[in-house]
Amino acid sequence: MDRVSRRTRVLTNHLIGPPPETLLAANPCLNYSPPELSEPSEFDPKAMRSLLDAHNLQQRDWLFGLLIQSPLFNPRTAAGKVFVSPDYNQSMQQQREMTMKRITYLLDRGVFHGWLTEKGPEAEMRKFAFFEVIGIYDHSLAVKLGVHFFLWGGAIQFFGTKRHHDKWLRDTENYAIKGCFAMSELGHGSNVRGIETVTTYDKNTGEFVISTPCESAQKYWIGGAANHATHTIVFSQLNINGSNQGVHAFIAQIRDADGNVCPDIRIADCGHKIGLNGVDNGRIWFDNVRIPRENLLNSVADVSLDGQYLSSIKDPDQRFAAFLAPLTSGRVTISVSAIYSSKISLAIAIRYALTRRAFSLTPNGPEVLLLDYPSHQRRLLPLLAKTYAMSFAANYLKEIYVKRTPESNKTIHVVSSAFKATLTWHNMRTLQECREACGGQGLKTENRVGHMKAEYDVQSTFEGDNNVLMQQVSKALLAEYIAVQKKNKPFKGLGLEHMNGAHPVIPSQLTSSTLGSSQFQMDAFCLRERDLLNRFSMEVSQHQKHGQSKEHAFILSYQLAEDLGRAFSDRAILQTFLDAEATIPDVFGKLRSMYALICLEEEAAFLRYGYLSMENAAAIRKEVTKLCSELRPHALALVSSFGIPDAFLSPIAFNWIDSNSWSSTQH
């Protein structure tokens, strides 16, 4: 056929069209169908929620209702449903003032009763439950409260003695004073020991004198300082008679009752941030500020009236460690908060994927639900399994924290450091994947997921940079390893008892039944942790033999330190899942296997150090895909089990067609 004839035929086909039997039928308009109509549950989501939330369910639901019913929490209606979330179109200053108004509303309704004045695990768990509900609504509100109660209030509880408790705790709980926590400086964040603020003692007047000697010593990122705080805990080097006694904590007033900045105090705003603009972060300079001697928080050390330094802890390293106790509660609340953030984003993205369709498999066939695509399952369901696993880990962390003893403080420090890093990294990855999985709708602030990325990004940094925390975990494990070697005693504590047994062996060929075995999964995780701890010890030792100091040897071994920290965290999380599994439905076996196998697949260490062969890695990849299809029918029930009320999700989690209709724009 010549060129002219061929072009004539093409044009004719365009004008006349194909034969009738191949014509595509016009698709009818899309209609929203609630996923509950087509996604039956094989278990009771309410019973599952009781396992996930673990405590104070009635109090949580009471507080959810309290937030929904007040106009202060910005309720709005979409497709006949009420949703609550902050108005992020407000200016930074408006958001800050709304945060304080919401705190006043909660205070007046008794939400904070007993947060600092009641003791015992029951009171602490109730406080955690309320704090988690508040965080589900707004991270700024939770952070503002966390600084006041957990950091300022926690410092007085932990560092102070009866005189401080009597004077400050009830006024803090009632918001008669507003506290903040001045630890970070422009020049020092994670390295608290290096802070440059200096405090001296004037024995002629019986006062401490706090000074900011240089610009890098200005207190920075101090939540509450820019607008509202009246008092602060100041972390400072204590210089007594020319001798530096290290970092200590002091109470200083920075504003009077009318909100005026006190003499010899300078305060500046940190300015607009990528998120958390409802928190008034500020900077503080101290120009020889005088405070009473009694304002030294003296549970660890004191200074006598005549200027003598007194401490029952003679070792400066142990004394410094004692001063970091309040950060443990911060790491606990951050870890839990990260998992609730992941739950919100997964509930929204999975509900959307159960009603949103895209592309047909046949010319006139129905479009396919997003979650029926294996690729979409692969994006969301492993993250769902990880979130379940980390929910149990977060509950375990809360439990050991509220039951803490002096003997358990080391374990709490190590576990909270590992979980804070692992859970917040997981949250940021989950938020990003859920944002993408929601397509363009994920970019709308009202749909929460995209905006939450900016709100929660800071969790990787505050209360300890995640990478630094993981190195602290590895340091603690190495110290335990060396101590066991020296004493020639078995491992006890930190979950390292598996090191006392035989070396786990991975089968050369992994079948589906082996991959689903909890014994195999735990063996693989223990093998990695055990081997990496041995390797890490050997590498640090080799560097020291070549003349490096212990600290420099550790720095040079950072890659193994990071791998070991993740191995410890992953194994500890899996253990909490196994501990919970005895009381849970069969679907949890699949979730636990998904968690374990996705860790095996994604963590390069399993291939890097030869724990898995290429063939076994391929078998694991295939099994993960199979588990995705097996978990798919349970997806709705699993996110419903999070127990997050509809009002705290977003319009695209429900009738996203009606919520975007023309009529919705007329309200």
Residues assigned a catalytic role:
463
Does the pLDDT at position 230 exceed 70?
yes
Contacts of 242 (CB under 8 A, 6+ apart): none
CA separation, residue 491 to residues 153, 424, 487, 612, 651 (Å) = 36, 29, 10, 26, 52
Band (pLDDT 50/70/90 cuts) for residue 14 is very low
Does the pLDDT at position 143 exceed 70?
yes
Average pLDDT score, the chain: 93
One-character DSSP codes across 134-177: HHHH-HHHHHHHIIIIIIIIHHHHHH--HHHIIIIIHHHHTTSS
pLDDT value, residue 394: 98
The stretch 478-482 carries a mean pLDDT of 96
Lowest mean pLDDT among 13-27, 135-149, 156-170, 321-335: 13-27
For residue 556, the surrounding DSSP H or E stretch is helix 550-556
Determine how many CB atoms are found less than 10 A away from the CB of residue 585.
Answer: 16
Token pair of 243, please?
Answer: 């001798």
The domain locations on the chain are 47-162, 179-316, 509-632
pLDDT digits (tens, 9 = 90+) for 65-101: 999 999 999 999 999 999 999 999 999 999 999 999 9
In whole angstroms, give the CA distance from residue 187 to residue 177.
29
pLDDT digits (tens, 9 = 90+) for 352-387: 999 999 999 988 889 999 999 999 999 999 999 999
pLDDT digits (tens, 9 = 90+) for 582-600: 776 678 899 999 999 999 9
pLDDT digits (tens, 9 = 90+) for 278-307: 999 999 999 999 999 999 999 999 999 999
pLDDT value, residue 8: 57
Percent of the chain with pLDDT over 70: 95
In whole angstroms, give the CA distance from residue 280 to residue 271.
8
Does the pLDDT at position 29 exceed 90?
no
The stretch 131-151 carries a mean pLDDT of 98
What would you report as the CA-atom Rg of the chain, rounded to the nearest whole angstrom? Answer: 28
**Annotated binding-site ranges for FAD:** 223
| Assigned CATH class of 509-632 | mainly alpha
Closest CA to 193 of 241, 242, 151, 238: 238
Q: Which CATH superfamily is domain 179-316 in?
A: Butyryl-CoA Dehydrogenase, subunit A, domain 2 (2.40.110.10)
**Annotated binding-site ranges:** 223
The stretch 453-457 carries a mean pLDDT of 97
pLDDT digits (tens, 9 = 90+) for 145-202: 999 999 999 999 999 999 999 999 999 999 999 999 999 999 999 899 999 999 999 9
Token pair of 637, please?
Answer: 């029930």
Query: Residue 151, class by beta-carbon neighbours within 10 Å (0-12 exposed, 13-18 middle, 19+ buried)?
Result: buried
Does the pLDDT at position 322 exceed 80?
no
Does the pLDDT at position 15 exceed 80?
no
pLDDT digits (tens, 9 = 90+) for 516-538: 999 999 999 999 999 999 999 99
Token pair of 504, please?
Answer: 């786990």
179-316 and 509-632 share one CATH topology?
Answer: no
597: helix, coil or strand?
helix
pLDDT value, residue 636: 98
Percent of the chain with pLDDT over 90: 87
Does the pLDDT at position 23 exceed 50?
no
pLDDT value, residue 316: 85
Does the pLDDT at position 11 exceed 70?
no
Lowest mean pLDDT among 28-42, 164-178, 208-222, 595-609: 28-42
